[in-house]
Structure 1
Amino acid sequence: MLEELVFISNVCVNHGKVKSSGSRNLQIFKKMEASGVEFTTRDLFYYSNELYYNGYYEEAITKYEKFLESNLGWIEDKKVAIANLIQCYSFTNKPEKKIEIILKSFEFDVPRADICCRLAEIFMSKNQIKQAIFWYKVAMGCIHEKDNLGIDNRDYYTWIPSIQLCVCYSILGDYEAAYYYNELTLLYGGNKTKVEHNKKFLENKFKELGRSIPDLDYKLIDRRFRFF
């Protein structure tokens, strides 16, 4: 019997630690800083990125925070800065700072799906499953901006929150809802291996409980399966 559901961990969602873009640009910025050059808002943003890409997370945090505190810069740069700051706080084990910056991101624009998923992850890690479910559903209800020139991963609007909802509902013992969101994950183009693993797990659960596998044709009328 399968022991547990497969879900998307924080590392998998974020594609692991970011790869270095090389230190050449970073060294240029460091020399500028050492020479007392006053950075423009745009330069500060790029300097923060170079620190982040090269794994200097504590320094990147300082620069990103300074960039955001200036309240200047392109809105898409602010979104990238916030997304990278969340990663920095993850790598430096600052969960409360993650919540703080996620909530601050709502001041700049409507919630973005990847940010909502980050917030849901925090609640999930604290075993606050109902709160996690709420924010994963908010992520699924977000609308992807087709003309957005910034970084915005479409998967956070579809199969990532869907497979996480499968796990959340399974933890709560609501296997019908878990089954629904697992099947939805496949329709969204999610990882087929993970979906099949979860499906076998859930089918075994239904067998143990003496229940039949759910008929999904009627599920959209059930309030549990609506986004809100």
Structure 2
Amino acid sequence: MITLSVCMIVKNEEQLIARCLNCLNDIADEIVIVDTGSVDNTKEIAGEYTSKIYNFDWIDDFSAARNFSFSKATMDYIYAADADELIDEKNREKFKRLKSTLDTDVEIVEMKYGNQLEKGSTYNFDVEYRPKLFKRVRTFKWIDPIHEIVDCRLNSMKSDILITHKPLTSHASRDLSLLEKLTTKQTVLNSRLHMMYARELLIAGREEDFYHAFTYFNRSLTAMNKDDIRLSHCVLARYYNLKSESFNFFKIATKNIQGNASAEICCELGSYYMKEKDYNEAVYWYYTAATAASADLSINYVQFIPNLQLYRCFFELGDLAEAAKYNDMAGIYKPDSPEVAANREVLSASMNLDK
């Protein structure tokens, strides 16, 4: 049986840390807690589970803190946990079985990560695989009888263990603040962080977040590849639409929709025409987003958002049957949406008045 270090980085998690550690306490052989500046009772609560609690001066870098936590682990494998995760009893039993049967040649285990969309995260699917379990010490081997090289391939496996992400609030404001700070230090971000910044803005950004992001995304138009620039278009179109700068808005939008149109831009065009009360033109663009465009940042822009907005357009046009159809379509993608439920009530009342 392998031995297991649970490594966590935390800050002000007194409301969640015990829930998380209760799930892992009888699975872990050691628990390593790295605190990045808590001013609540996080460390005191963690002390009930482990003596391995370390302080780490926060430098706006989650990777640095995570690497420090890994450096304190001593067991065969490291499980990277977050305080806002939980594992139910069924999946705890699966984890125990995995621990007792894992082939030590495996270097990374991916586990299912669920409930990702509840608080408006930057992911497109509610359940996705994530690397969660890592072999602490990796052995490198020379291969091939001639022109020998070191085998750097990772031996990974997928497990059906489900980790449930259950935060109390969205992390969007925290993440956007860190990304904004990064853009003051670097001319442009790498492609992955550029995408994450744009996605975070389109999913959870407030109006002021777009204002703060404008300088960076405008600068990126001349410093990145064409795929990254498409993502910048999505952010800048929203910015110009918010500022009612029509000339710049259409200059950005028309560059993007040549060829493979971005669903985010199509929805932005729909929003523009809705503000102008040109609902027929708005219908065209929302319908294009839902049926003939591709999402560059969030799948919501080809699913829930255009269908919800088509409901609103047809409602304004007085076509209640079409409005109901698209509201039901939006409900397929988000069955628990309070907006969809409220729309059904409004439609029911409106239809009764028409009788």
**TM bucket, shorter chain:** 0.5 to 0.7
C-alpha displacement of 1:25: 3.4
CA distance in 2, matches of 1:181, 1:169: 9
CA distance in 2, matches of 1:158, 1:110: 17
1:160 aligned onto 2:300: no
Amino acid at match of 2:182: N
C-alpha displacement of 1:144: 4.3
Amino acid at match of 1:121: S
The residue number in structure 1 matching 2:328 is 183
Which of 121, 127, 151 is the matching residue for 2:271?
A: 121
The residue number in structure 1 matching 2:228 is 77
Would the alpha carbon gap of residues 173 and 65 (structure 1) be closer, same or farther in structure 2, given more than 3 Å must change?
same
The residue number in structure 2 matching 1:70 is none
Where 1:127 maps in the other structure, the secondary structure is: coil
Structure 1 residue runs of 5 or longer lacking an equivalent are 1-11, 30-42, 68-72, 146-150, 211-228
Pairing 1:1-228 to 2, within 5 Å after superposition: 19-21=176-178, 25-29=182-186, 43-44=187-188, 56-57=212-213, 59-60=215-216, 62-67=218-223, 73-107=224-258, 109-142=259-292, 144=294, 151-189=296-334, 192-210=337-355
The answer to whether the 8 Å contact 1:19/1:54 transfers is: no
The answer to whether the 8 Å contact 1:22/1:54 transfers is: no
TM-score normalised to structure 2 length: 0.42
TM-score normalised to structure 1 length: 0.63
CA distance in 2, matches of 1:193, 1:24: 34
Where 2:178 maps in the other structure, the secondary structure is: coil
Q: Structure 1, residues 3-47: CA drift from partner, whole Å, max 9, x if none? A: xxxxxxxxx9xx998822256534433xxxxxxxxxxxxx5466x
- Percent identity, please: 19
CA distance in 1, matches of 2:234, 2:337: 27
Where 2:177 maps in the other structure, the secondary structure is: coil
CA distance in 2, matches of 1:156, 1:190: 16
CA distance in 2, matches of 1:54, 1:187: 30
CA distance in 2, matches of 1:208, 1:187: 27
Would the alpha carbon gap of residues 164 and 62 (structure 1) be closer, same or farther in structure 2, given more than 3 Å must change?
closer
The residue number in structure 1 matching 2:158 is none
The answer to whether the 8 Å contact 1:82/1:102 transfers is: yes
Amino acid at match of 2:233: I
The residue number in structure 2 matching 1:7 is none
Q: Which shifted more, 113-122 or 85-94?
A: 85-94
The answer to whether the 8 Å contact 1:86/1:101 transfers is: yes
Would the alpha carbon gap of residues 133 and 75 (structure 1) be closer, same or farther in structure 2, given more than 3 Å must change?
same
Where 1:21 maps in the other structure, the secondary structure is: helix
**Structure in which a larger fraction of residues adopt strand:** 2
CA distance in 1, matches of 2:246, 2:314: 24
Would the alpha carbon gap of residues 105 and 203 (structure 1) be closer, same or farther in structure 2, given more than 3 Å must change?
same
The answer to whether the 8 Å contact 1:23/1:54 transfers is: no
CA distance in 2, matches of 1:137, 1:23: 33
**Structure in which a larger fraction of residues adopt helix:** 1
CA distance in 1, matches of 2:335, 2:294: 17
CA distance in 2, matches of 1:208, 1:23: 50
Would the alpha carbon gap of residues 128 and 54 (structure 1) be closer, same or farther in structure 2, given more than 3 Å must change?
closer
Would the alpha carbon gap of residues 207 and 88 (structure 1) be closer, same or farther in structure 2, given more than 3 Å must change?
closer
The answer to whether the 8 Å contact 1:21/1:54 transfers is: no
CA distance in 1, matches of 2:346, 2:210: 40
CA distance in 1, matches of 2:229, 2:308: 28
Would the alpha carbon gap of residues 83 and 114 (structure 1) be closer, same or farther in structure 2, given more than 3 Å must change?
same
C-alpha displacement of 1:191: 5.0
Q: How many pairs are equivalent?
A: 173
Q: Which has the higher contact order (CA 8 A, sep 6+)?
A: 1
Q: Structure 1, residues 179-214: CA drift from partner, whole Å, max 9, x if none? A: 11111111122552111111111111111110xxxx
The answer to whether the 8 Å contact 1:182/1:198 transfers is: yes
The answer to whether the 8 Å contact 1:158/1:188 transfers is: yes
